[in-house]
């Protein structure tokens, strides 16, 4: 007798295969599994949900929309919780940029709670938790694209609570910590959330270090670890660290954990020892660092994507530092110091928001070194307002950094002088994103006609030639975008904040020799931007002088910067040896 699978068993089999194909990134086969289910029963919500989700990944939005319409037209009483979850996720993916996502997410939370209480165990439970996890993740990404950083952080914290695997739980929590900086920089709540990361990381084993052997005179071994020795925003500040240190006193090791590109090949030639650790797990990387007998390990990633903090959790070096790549504390007791400066952290009380000791440079803790990543050098030229007869303000920052308060300041600036505002970001790359920006600007009383919304593009540097004055964001300031604007001859107006991350604009402008563009308070920010917009002669002089001025300023003075860094390294090493 030949046993035949029941319809329910066939559906389950196709669903499991679809999950396998999804994990492999084989979305065509994933969709084919959904269609096999529909061949058995056109009213099966699971089949339509699979087709919808796979079509979203394949960017076949016409098929995705048709499948979603079929799914949502079914009798909801017959739709199993798993299919509903899939459908909500696919709806989020397809419609998320248009931001009908909030209602879907409310239903998503309800379904999660109901499903978790009923059938949240076994194979079906594991599969459904994966769907929930992906749903929260995609929701967070969509919120971020729409400039809703607080919602993005909240959803990612939910994803962390959803998964049971501790490494993945810590990974999601770390990502959520990064997202909190868009709205919550320097708050007590944010600090407590960062400290919670240490409890999730749970790196039980720590490497031992013999202090007596380390006390002997030797060239200090400095290790830099990052996934971003490549084409990346943080990499514009790495060159002096790897290339310009005093080789008589220091030996430089670089540990690269990311995916290499043509920029990686350039960085590879700078340190004394280059270690390609891509594909290695955290313990393997930590063991290599320990075996290399690194004295001071400097993490350049913090809580950014593909964070290296799990490596530092093993304490592979006796002294560990974090900085440059991330604007906030790591929350880890195994990280001894956080690199900052006396502008970003001027007060004794700033220490209260860091688990690390603050390692303060006298000058800017960032040294802008773009030459390794690009060859373009700007020359002074007339400000566009000379020709246009009106002022063009610009913001090329990630739109997620733009709060409603910042939009209100920008509206007031545009009301103060004949002008327009160019916003350039990934959010502007789709019509739905542009509509979000227009709607938000309209809600705070602004005129969307004064906005020019430009999509993300690789030639963004040349587009600074259209801008008279760049407007920095707050509380998450620009780093690379501010340096780029100045480098291209465009002055930047920044609002001084009350935390390390919200003072980036201030420390960069001081190093660039432009303290007059730093504003204390909302009124000063608006007033300075309007005043400069009315002073076309002064503005024109800035556009002519800034490119040369920046290249000869402390902001791009590698040698002085590294002398300060070297002195700090020797200081913290002496402190370690004397304890």
**How does pLDDT run across 281-310, given as a tens digit for each residue?**
999 999 999 999 999 999 999 999 999 999
- Tell me the pairing of strands 492-495 and 518-519: parallel
pLDDT at residue 114, as a whole number: 55
Give DSSP secondary structure letters for 549-579.
HHHTSGGG-HHHHHHHHHHHHHHHHHHHHH-
Domains and CATH numbers, the chain: 7-201 (1.25.40.10), 214-367+559-578 (3.40.50.11380), 385-556 (3.40.50.2000)
The percentage of residues in the chain with a pLDDT greater than 90, rounded to a whole number, is 65
Share the mean pLDDT of the chain: 88
pLDDT at residue 124, as a whole number: 45
- Chain centre distance of CA 531: 33
Q: How many Cα atoms are found within 13 Å in the side-chain-facing hemisphere of 81?
A: 21
Predicted confidence (pLDDT) per residue in 339-391, tens digit = 999 999 999 999 999 999 999 999 999 999 999 998 777 788 999 999 999 99
Angstrom distance (rounded) from CA 218 to CA 419: 60
Mean pLDDT throughout 551-557? 96
Radius of gyration of the chain (CA): 26
Q: Which two tokens stand for residue 566?
A: 């070297």
Predicted confidence (pLDDT) per residue in 419-460, tens digit = 999 999 988 887 778 888 999 999 999 999 999 999 988 888
Predicted confidence (pLDDT) per residue in 194-241, tens digit = 999 999 987 778 899 887 777 667 889 999 999 999 999 999 999 999
Look-up: residue for tokens 């209260």? 352
Give DSSP secondary structure letters for 260-325.
--HHHHHHTTSSSEEEE-TT--HHHHHHHHHHTT-SEEEES-SSSTT-SHHHHTT--SSEEEE-SS
Q: Which two tokens stand for residue 374?
A: 């690009």
Where is 393: in which H helix or E strand?
strand 391-395
Look-up: residue for tokens 């290399």? 292
Q: What is the largest CA-CA distance in the chain?
A: 94
Residue predicted with more confidence, 240 or 158: 240
Angstrom distance (rounded) from CA 552 to CA 402: 31
Q: Residue 541: CB partners within 8 Å, gap ≥ 6?
A: none
Return the closest-CA partner of residue 322 out of 332, 314, 342.
Answer: 332
Confidence check: pLDDT of 524 > 90? yes
Q: Residue 137: CB partners within 8 Å, gap ≥ 6?
A: 155, 156, 159, 172
Return the closest-CA partner of residue 104 out of 69, 147, 135, 71.
Answer: 135
C-alpha triplet 158, 164, 169: angle, nearest 5°: 55
């Amino acid at each position: 007798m030949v046993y035949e699978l029941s319809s329910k068993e066939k559906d389950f089999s196709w669903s499991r295969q679809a999950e396998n194909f999804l994990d492999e990134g084989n979305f065509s086969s994933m969709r084919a599994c959904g269609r096999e289910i529909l061949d058995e029963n056109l009213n099966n919500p699971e089949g339509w949900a699979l087709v919808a989700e796979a079509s979203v990944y394949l960017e076949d939005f016409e098929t995705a929309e048709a499948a979603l319409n079929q799914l949502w037209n079914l009798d909801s009483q017959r739709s199993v919780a798993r299919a509903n979850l899939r459908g909500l996720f696919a709806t989020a993916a397809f419609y998320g940029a248009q931001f009908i996502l909030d209602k879907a997410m409310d239903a998503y939370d309800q379904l999660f709670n109901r499903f978790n209480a009923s059938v949240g165990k076994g194979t079906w439970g594991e599969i459904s938790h994966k769907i929930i996890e992906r749903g929260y993740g995609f929701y967070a990404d969509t919120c971020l694209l729409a400039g809703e950083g607080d919602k993005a952080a909240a959803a990612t914290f939910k994803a962390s609570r959803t998964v049971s695997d501790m490494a993945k739980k810590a990974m999601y929590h770390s990502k959520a910590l990064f997202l909190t900086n868009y709205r919550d920089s320097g708050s007590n709540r944010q600090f407590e959330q960062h400290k919670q990361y240490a409890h999730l990381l749970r790196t039980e084993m720590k490497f031992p270090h013999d202090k007596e052997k380390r006390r002997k005179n030797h060239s200090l071994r400095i290790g830099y670890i990052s996934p971003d020795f490549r084409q990346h925003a943080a990499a514009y500040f790495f060159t002096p660290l790897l290339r310009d240190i005093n080789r008589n006193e220091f030996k430089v090791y670089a540990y690269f954990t990311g995916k290499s590109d043509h920029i990686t090949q350039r960085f590879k030639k700078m340190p004394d020892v280059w270690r390609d650790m891509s594909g290695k797990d955290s313990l393997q990387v930590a063991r290599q660092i320990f075996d290399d007998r690194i004295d001071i390990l400097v993490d350049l990633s913090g809580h950014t994507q593909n964070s290296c903090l799990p490596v530092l959790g093993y304490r592979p070096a006796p002294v560990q530092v974090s900085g440059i790549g991330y604007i906030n504390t790591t929350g880890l007791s195994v990280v001894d110091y956080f690199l900052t400066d006396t502008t970003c952290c001027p007060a004794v009380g700033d220490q209260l928001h860091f688990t690390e000791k603050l390692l303060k440079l006298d000058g800017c803790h960032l040294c802008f070194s773009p030459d390794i990543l690009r060859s373009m050098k700007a020359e002074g030229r007339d400000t566009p307002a000379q020709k246009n007869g009106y002022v063009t303000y610009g913001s090329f920052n990630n739109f997620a950094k733009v709060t409603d308060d910042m939009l209100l300041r920008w509206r007031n600036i545009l009301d103060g002088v004949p002008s327009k505002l160019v916003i350039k970001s990934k959010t502007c790359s789709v019509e739905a994103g542009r509509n979000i920006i227009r709607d938000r600007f309209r809600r705070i009383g602004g005129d969307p006609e004064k906005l020019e919304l430009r999509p993300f593009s690789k030639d963004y540097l040349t587009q600074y030639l259209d801008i008279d004055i760049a407007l920095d964001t707050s509380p998450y300031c620009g780093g690379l975008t501010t340096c780029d604007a100045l480098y291209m001859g465009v002055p930047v107006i920044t609002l001084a904040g009350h935390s390390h991350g919200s003072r980036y604009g201030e420390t960069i402008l001081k190093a660039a020799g432009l303290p007059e563009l730093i504003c204390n308070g909302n009124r000063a920010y608006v007033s300075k931007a309007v005043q400069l917009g009315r002073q076309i002669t002064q503005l024109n002089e800035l556009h002519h002088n800034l490119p040369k001025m920046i290249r000869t300023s402390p902001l791009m003075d590698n040698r002085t910067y590294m002398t300060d860094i070297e002195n700090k390294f020797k200081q913290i090493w002496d402190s370690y040896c004397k304890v």
